[in-house]
Amino acid sequence: MAQFEQGAYLDAIADYEQSLQQPGLDQIALAEIYRDRGLAKLMLTDQVGAIADFSESIQFNPADAEAYYNRACAYHRQRDLRLAIDDFTQVLAQVPNHAEAYRSRGLIRYQLGEKRQAIADLQQAAQHFSNQGAAIAYQQTLNLIHQIEAVAFAIG
């Protein structure tokens, strides 16, 4: 973990691999190790490796919304937009006030031309950011909504 926090992602991956060799790890511990190793791989732009680790994490702990969120981000980076939407939707099923998942899903829906759904997700994100006291994220999300609406209005 210390290696990860210092940005030494290759060293962190080696540490996680060593941790996986420890006998007697329960499913939750295994899920956390795979999730954390996946995040290190994601930071190194190894989307394929990250997705594999996040998927392994989800196998061990299907209730880990963070693993779904991270895998959604990896899918998005890989341009697998539908899979990213599916995972962001899974996050929201588990954590209904996850503002960042709403915002990310909204942006992907906009990329796919699903403007109404995008605006609905972004409005949900803005509401949750506001409720959570995240003023900057709230304002940024409102700005995104206004930009999408302006483009939609200009196109007609």
For the stretch 143-156, pLDDT in tens is 999 999 887 656 65
Mean pLDDT of 73-94: 98
Domains of the chain (ranges, CATH numbers): 1-84 (1.25.40.10), 96-156 (no CATH)
Model confidence, pTM: 0.90
Half-sphere exposure of 64 (CA within 13 A, CB side): 25
What values do phi and psi take at 127, rounded to 5? Answer: -60, -45
pLDDT bucket at 5, cuts 50 / 70 / 90: low
Q: What is the 3-state secondary structure (H, E, C) of 16-76?
A: HHHHHCCCCCCHHHHHHHHHHHHHHHHHCCCHHHHHHHHHHHHHHCCCCHHHHHHHHHHHH
Give me the pLDDT at residue 92, please: 99
For the segment 23-51, the average pLDDT, to the nearest whole number, is: 96
